[in-house]
Chain A
Amino acid sequence: METDLTQGVTEYWLRLPSKYKEKLAQIRVWKSLRMATDMDDIWVRGIAPHQLHSPEIRSIPFKKIYFQRDNALFLLGGNLPEERLKTSMLWSPIDKALPVETPEYNFNYFGVHEKIQFNIIPSTVERTPKAQLVTLETLDMVIPKMPAIRLQHIQWTIINKKALLFGAPLLSIPGKTYWQVQNFLLPTGYDLEYPELSSYFNNIINQNTNDYIIVNPDSTYFRLSQENIKKLTISGYRLSR
């Protein structure tokens, strides 16, 4: 059986006719990539295996993907060398090679009435959870048994027959967790669709208040006044139940 030539490949090469240069815009932010020009073609190298199947790469049209082996470039999926290894090319970081131009101001643009929806989207950036939504039944079981040191930093409030606990480290009990972006409490794993606009959204939702804005996974939200959040103690919990 023949061996898979792509085994052990750590980087892929991408070849694209120069006239489709703009199609590289979406991968311009990947710092590991380097780019060179050769006649009518653009070469990009440094594409990691896990990036190869990303939507950003797959959506580039008219591209050819190569991998390198023994001074030769093989077309992806091919068993015969396609090109000699390019040694004479001048490689530069892709964000240097593809400078960004700001568009000229469009005086004829009429889309100023378009609006942006407040949305949250799944995020890959990991943060420390700040709050936790727990059913009261769960709390009933654990609070009286909790060492004081674990409760010391915890604050809480009751929302809709559930308890929202604040403070790190959170208690090790099942519940939905949230992390904090400014005054927003987002479900863990989500981020604002337009993080740049977070303070803008905050000012609109929180007019003259400093409430927490708790966002549900379906992008709906509700406000929670910080004054309603109290220190969690065993006695306080017992008297509240």
Chain B
Amino acid sequence: MLPTDVHTSHHFFTFLSIQNNILQTIHHLRTSGQFVLYTNQPKISASELNDVADFLAQEYENESLNYPFEAPKFHREAAVWGAKTIYYAAQFLAHRLEEPKNLGKFFEAFKGKLSPEVQLSADISLRFLPFIIKELESIDFDDWLIKILKKNMQGFQYSAIGHDLELEINEEQLATLFQNNCFRTLFIDRVIEKKDIGLTAHKIIHENVAIHLGEHTNHFWRAFISEAKTL
């Protein structure tokens, strides 16, 4: 079971008359934090994806109300890519007929620049992926799928904060992303919220966490200080 996402606002969403499996799954995930699969067929049509994108845009708009500074624009492709990735990941976690080598065609890496818009839009569903990876690992640590998913998550550290997935951090790339005030604040907020002390080993993250905590470091995050001393 996945934890409920606190940012999710509950609102009515009218389903289309034709059953849209991926939309239902993602909608359920976003509103209750639970994963429900409605079919064992890993198939998604273009029109289904279109509805998913509309739903995610709505979710993003609700959530970005709580974003600091000015929220980046919604990035449709990235959001859909994130939803697809987690949908297939859950499908193959529960039910797998395919050969491992054929899984690649379902999971393609995100093609495009990893801008703050892309990061935040993909995060709407991608933030749940680490839980699925953890599940897969507990079943079979050497699963092919884990490697694929981790590879695809490589550029999306924001969604992996606090999950100890041992993703490589590209400080240069992060520095570019951090030029966006909104993304930087959200990223550091999440590091502090999840108390991901491992990430603060990176200078750029450490600096920004220190800025966020200000003179209240001791009050908010005791462990962070000892980390600062060892640096």
Residues of chain A whose beta carbon lies under 8 Å from any beta carbon of chain B: 144-150, 169, 172, 233-235, 238-239
B192 touches A148 (CB 8 A): yes
CB distance from B222 to the nearest CB of A (A): 13
The A interface is mostly helix, strand or loop, or mixed, namely helix
Chain B residues whose CB sits within 8 angstroms of the CB of A239 once the complex forms:
65
A-B residue pairs in contact (CB < 8 Å), sample of 5: A144-B69, A147-B185, A147-B188, A234-B67, A239-B65
Q: Does B189 lie at the interface of the complex (its beta carbon under 8 Å from any beta carbon of A)?
A: yes
Chain A residues whose CB sits within 8 angstroms of the CB of B68 once the complex forms:
144-148, 234
Other than A144-B68, A147-B212, A149-B189, give 20 A-B pairs with Cβ distance below 8 A: A144-B69, A145-B68, A145-B69, A145-B181, A147-B188, A147-B192, A148-B185, A148-B189, A148-B193, A149-B212, A149-B213, A150-B212, A150-B214, A169-B216, A172-B214, A233-B66, A234-B65, A234-B66, A235-B66, A239-B65
B-side interface size class: 10 to 19
Chain B residues whose CB sits within 8 angstroms of the CB of A148 once the complex forms:
68, 185, 189, 192-193
Report how far A169 CA is from B214 CA in the complex, Å: 11
Chain B residues whose CB sits within 8 angstroms of the CB of A145 once the complex forms:
68-69, 181, 185
Q: Does B220 lie at the interface of the complex (its beta carbon under 8 Å from any beta carbon of A)?
A: yes
Chain A residues whose CB sits within 8 angstroms of the CB of B214 once the complex forms:
150, 172
Report how far A147 CA is from B221 CA in the complex, Å: 14
For B40-52 the 0/1 string (1 means CB < 8 A from A) is 0000000000000
CB distance from B61 to the nearest CB of A (A): 11
Report how far A228 CA is from B193 CA in the complex, Å: 27
Q: Does B101 lie at the interface of the complex (its beta carbon under 8 Å from any beta carbon of A)?
A: no
A149 touches B193 (CB 8 A): yes
Q: Which residue of B is nearest A143, CB measured?
A: B68
Report how far A43 CA is from B52 CA in the complex, Å: 90
CB distance from A232 to the nearest CB of B (A): 11
B65 touches A235 (CB 8 A): yes
Report how far A169 CA is from B216 CA in the complex, Å: 8
Q: Does B113 lie at the interface of the complex (its beta carbon under 8 Å from any beta carbon of A)?
A: no
Chain B residues whose CB sits within 8 angstroms of the CB of A169 once the complex forms:
216, 219
Report how far A235 CA is from B192 CA in the complex, Å: 20
Report how far A104 CA is from B68 CA in the complex, Å: 68
B219 touches A147 (CB 8 A): no
Report how far A238 CA is from B181 CA in the complex, Å: 18
CB distance from A21 to the nearest CB of B (A): 51
Report how far A238 CA is from B61 CA in the complex, Å: 13
Q: Which residue of B is nearest A239, CB measured?
A: B65
Chain A residues whose CB sits within 8 angstroms of the CB of B219 once the complex forms:
169
Chain B residues whose CB sits within 8 angstroms of the CB of A238 once the complex forms:
65
Report how far A169 CA is from B217 CA in the complex, Å: 11
Report how far A148 CA is from B67 CA in the complex, Å: 9
For B60-104 the 0/1 string (1 means CB < 8 A from A) is 000001111100000000000000000000000000000000000
Q: Which residue of A is nearest B64, CB measured?
A: A235
CB distance from A97 to the nearest CB of B (A): 46
Give the top 7 A-B pairs by smallest Cβ distance, nearest first: A235-B66, A235-B65, A148-B189, A147-B212, A149-B192, A234-B66, A169-B216
CB distance from A138 to the nearest CB of B (A): 17
Q: Which residue of B is nearest A169, CB measured?
A: B216
Chain B residues whose CB sits within 8 angstroms of the CB of A234 once the complex forms:
65-68
Report how far A234 CA is from B65 CA in the complex, Å: 7
